[in-house]
């Protein structure tokens, strides 16, 4: 992942970030009155949708264009209750105005997957769809108006009724990809409890820590920003990486930038969805189909055996051709990821090649 080309920032999204100075000035947590003033300023410049990526106990006034968040659980503890949505939402309204912000970490605490929908839980957070999915849904509805079908067909309803729904090619491509959810057969996640519908997260790799335009909250309140960074865009209001908010590890942590804030993570997830739908040359990531994976692995197992047989007794040539094979595995894996969005199991491939190669070499030596 870290060797992929750098990309441009996503022009569909902007973040309004809350800094330590803002918290000192307005208090922690930021009061609803301040958030309301921010939204009022933003609405003058016609954003497509606004997502509040900080927990709220009460709804904001005039929030028809706002998506809130809640959590089904706290951290990695499945039995620990999460955080409630703002008061005043019915369960039906939660489906429209609230998204969950739960994330799934791998065993090394890196986030490589994106939850789009979740199994029903006993939590007071009843949101079925993720915060990022709700923002993308609202934005994409504005991009695709269907005059010849029912206006109430939102993206999540289309997902649930995918077999009977007819739509443009762009949407069909998106749904095709989403129909290939991570399952109990998917790559390295074969034995995981997938906790709902997940896809791999294709991080946008930029030259700095932010993939979108960032605007300080006090700049918004003072009107010191470019209207073009707001108009027709998705706006995410969230904490900056510099204050005390929890940060998340990504495949890029420790290279081009360190851990990222919740708002940046949500921006990555929203960006992935809308770029896939709008066909902006960014693939949704996937693993190889099982039958191709079997052919791939056996081809390098066979190569390892073949090289050990042909070059037995010639250490120099054996090491040279083994090294060439390892380089080929690395190049093919990079090409698959960069140009086709295919996550190839590099470590597994290399291990099987080495085991086959060394094992065959030792076996021949023992037989002779």
CA distance 275 to 63: 26
- The answer to whether position 253 is within a domain reads yes
The SS3 call for residue 276 is helix
Enclosing domain of residue 141: 13-277
Of 70, 77, 120, 138, nearest in space to 100 by CA: 70
**Total residues belonging to the chain:** 368
| Ranges of the chain whose pLDDT falls below 50 | 146-173, 177, 179, 256
Does 8 reside within a domain? Answer: no
**Residue-level pLDDT at 256:** 47
**pLDDT for residue 336:** 85
Are residue 172 and residue 216 in the same domain, yes or no? yes
Domain termination site, one of 277, 303, 336: 277
Same domain, 189 and 216: yes
Task: Report the C-alpha dihedral over residues 69, 74, 75, 80, rounded to 10 degrees.
Answer: -150
Are 140 and 43 in a shared domain? yes
Asked if the structure places residue 1 within a domain, the reply is no
Does residue 254 sit in the same domain as residue 299? no
Residue 7: inside a domain: no
Q: Are residues 268 and 303 in the same domain?
A: no
Q: Which of 277, 303, 332 is the last residue of a domain?
A: 277
Q: Say whether both 205 and 342 belong to one domain.
A: no
Q: Based on the domain organization, do 201 and 340 belong to the same domain? A: no
Residues 330 and 218 occupy one common structural domain: no
- Domain assignment of residue 4, yes or no: no
Q: Yes or no: say if 189 and 236 are a contact pair by the CB < 8 Å rule.
A: no
- Residue 171: the pLDDT is 44
**pLDDT for the residue numbered 185:** 56
In a shared domain, residues 90 and 179: yes
Residue 111 lies in a domain: yes
Q: Do 168 and 218 sit in the same domain of this protein?
A: yes
Report the distance separating Cα 254 and Cα 275, nearest Å. Answer: 26
**Per-residue tokens: 189:** 């996640």
User: Who's near 127: CB < 8 A, 6+ residues apart?
Assistant: 70, 72, 85, 94, 95, 98, 99, 100, 118, 134
Does residue 295 sit in the same domain as residue 206?
no
Looking at residue 36, its pLDDT comes to 93
Total count of domains within the chain: 2
* Domain annotation covers residue 2: no
Which of the listed residues 223, 250, 277 is the one where a domain comes to its end?
277
Is residue 5 assigned to a domain?
no
* Angle between helical axes of 262-277 and 131-143 (0-180°, round to 10): 40
Rounded CA-CA distance 132/270 in Å is: 5
Residues 267 and 205 in one domain: yes
The pTM of the full predicted model, rounded to 2 decimals, is 0.80
């Amino acid at each position: 992942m870290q060797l992929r080309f750098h990309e441009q920032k996503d022009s569909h999204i902007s973040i309004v970030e809350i800094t330590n100075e803002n918290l000192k000035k307005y208090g922690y947590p930021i009061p609803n009155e301040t958030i309301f003033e921010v939204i009022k300023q933003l609405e003058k410049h016609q954003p497509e949708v606004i997502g509040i990526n900080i927990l709220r106990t009460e709804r904001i006034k005039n929030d028809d264009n706002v998506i809130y968040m809640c959590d089904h659980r706290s951290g990695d503890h499945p039995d620990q209750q999460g955080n409630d949505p703002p008061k005043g939402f019915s369960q039906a309204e939660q489906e429209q105005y609230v998204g969950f912000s739960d994330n799934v970490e791998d065993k090394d605490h890196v986030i490589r997957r994106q939850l789009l929908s979740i199994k029903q839980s006993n939590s007071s957070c009843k949101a079925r769809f993720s915060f990022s999915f709700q923002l993308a849904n609202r934005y994409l509805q504005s991009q695709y108006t269907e005059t010849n079908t029912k206006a109430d067909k939102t993206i999540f309803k289309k997902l649930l009724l995918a077999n009977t729904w007819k739509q443009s090619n762009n949407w069909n491509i998106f749904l095709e990809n989403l129909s290939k959810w991570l399952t109990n057969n998917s790559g390295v996640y074969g034995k995981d409890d997938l906790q709902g519908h997940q896809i791999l997260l294709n991080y946008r790799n930029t030259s700095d820590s932010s993939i979108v335009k960032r605007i300080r909250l006090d700049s918004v309140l003072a009107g010191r920003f470019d209207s073009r960074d707001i108009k027709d865009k998705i706006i995410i209001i969230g904490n900056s990486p510099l204050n005390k908010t929890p940060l998340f590890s990504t495949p890029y942590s420790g290279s081009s930038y360190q851990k990222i804030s919740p708002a940046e993570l949500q921006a990555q997830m929203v960006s992935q969805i809308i770029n896939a739908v709008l066909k902006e040359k960014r693939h949704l990531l996937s693993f190889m189909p099982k039958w191709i994976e079997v052919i791939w692995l056996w081809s390098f197992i066979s190569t390892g055996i073949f090289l050990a047989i042909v070059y037995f007794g010639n250490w120099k040539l054996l090491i040279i051709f083994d090294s060439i094979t390892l380089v080929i595995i690395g190049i093919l894996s990079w090409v698959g990821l960069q140009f086709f969005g295919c996550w190839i199991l590099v470590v597994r491939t290399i291990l099987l090649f080495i085991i086959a190669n060394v094992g065959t070499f030792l076996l021949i030596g023992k037989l002779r």
